[in-house]
Amino acid sequence: MQFETYLIFLVTTAVVVFSPGAAAVAVASQGAANGGRRALGGVFGIASANAVYFALSATGIASLIIASNLVFSVIKWAGVGYLVWLGLTALFTPAGAIRVKRSGRQSSLKALFAQGFVIEFANPKALLYFAAILPQFLDINAPIVPQILIMGMTTFLIDLTSYTAYAFLGDRLTRGEMKNWVVGLVNKCAGIALLYAGFRMAGVTVMR
What's residue 17's pLDDT? 82
* Residue 105 in this model has a pLDDT that exceeds 60: yes
> Which of 185, 187, 204, 184 is closest to 26 using CA atoms?
187
- Do residues 83 and 24 make contact, with C-beta atoms less than 8 angstroms apart? no
* Residue 120 in this model has a pLDDT that exceeds 70: yes
Q: How many domains does the chain have?
A: 1
pLDDT interval class at 96 (50, 70, 90): very low
pLDDT interval class at 65 (50, 70, 90): low
Q: For residue 17, is it within any domain?
A: no
- Do residues 200 and 68 make contact, with C-beta atoms less than 8 angstroms apart? no
Instruction: Please state, in angstroms and rounded to a whole number, the distance separating the CA atoms of residues 50 and 57.
Output: 10
Q: For residue 137, is it within any domain?
A: yes
Instruction: Please state, in angstroms and rounded to a whole number, the distance separating the CA atoms of residues 22 and 86.
Output: 10
Mean pLDDT of 90-105: 58
> pTM, whole model, 2 decimals?
0.70
Mean pLDDT of 89-117: 71
Q: For residue 10, is it within any domain?
A: no
Q: Which residue has the higher pLDDT, 95 or 89?
A: 89
Best mean pLDDT range from 2-16, 58-72, 81-95: 2-16
- List, in order, residues 6 or more apart from 164 with CB less than 8 Å away: 36, 40, 43
> Which of 167, 197, 162 is closest to 90 using CA atoms?
197
E-strand stretches of the chain: none
What's the domain range around 84? 22-202
- pLDDT (tens digit, 9 = 90+) per residue, 135-191? 767 777 778 788 888 989 999 999 999 999 989 988 887 766 555 555 566 667 767
Q: For residue 5, is it within any domain?
A: no
Long-range residue pairs from 88-97, CB within 8 A, at least 24 positions apart, any chain: 88/191, 88/195, 89/191, 90/29, 90/187, 90/188, 90/190, 90/191, 90/194, 91/187, 91/188, 91/191, 91/192, 91/195, 92/191
What's residue 10's pLDDT? 87
Q: For residue 80, is it within any domain?
A: yes
Q: For residue 70, is it within any domain?
A: yes
Q: For residue 74, is it within any domain?
A: yes
Residue % of the chain over a pLDDT of 70 = 68
Q: For residue 64, is it within any domain?
A: yes
pLDDT interval class at 15 (50, 70, 90): confident
DSSP 56-99: HHHTTHHHHHHH-HHHHHHHHHHHHHHHHHHHHHHHH-TTSSS-
Mean pLDDT of 24-45: 89
Mean pLDDT computed over every residue of the chain: 76
